Copies of this chain bind each other. A is one copy, B any other.
Amino acid sequence: MSSDSSPYGNPETRQRILSKAWELLEERGSSFRLVDVADAAGVSRQAVYLHFGDRAGLLVALVDHVDEGFGAAKLRAHVFGAPTGVESLRRWVDTMSWYTGKIDRLTQVLEANQYDDEALAAGWRNRMNRRQAMLLAMTERIAGEGRLRAGWSVAAAADLIYAVTMPGPWRELTRHLRWSEQQYSDAVWRLLEAGLLLGSEAGDAEAG
Contacts and interface: CB of A to CB of B under 8 A. Distances in A.
A139 to B, nearest CB: 14
B191 A177 contact: no
Contacts of A179: 159
A168 interface: yes
Interface in A162-201: 162-164, 166-170, 172-173, 177, 179, 187-188, 190-196
Given A113-B112, A169-B164, A173-B163, A151 B192 contact: no
A150 B115 CA distance: 42
Contacts of A162: 172
A71 interface: no
Chain A interface residue number, banded: 35 or more
A30 interface: yes
Contacts of A191: 160, 164, 191-192, 195-196
A118 B16 CA distance: 32
A84 interface: no
A208 B160 contact: no
Interface of A: 29-31, 108-109, 111-113, 115-116, 128, 149-151, 156, 159-160, 162-164, 166-170, 172-173, 177, 179, 187-188, 190-196, 206, 208
Given A160-B191, A163-B177, A166-B172, 12 more contacts: A30-B115, A112-B113, A151-B206, A163-B169, A164-B164, A164-B191, A166-B169, A167-B168, A168-B169, A191-B191, A191-B196, A193-B195
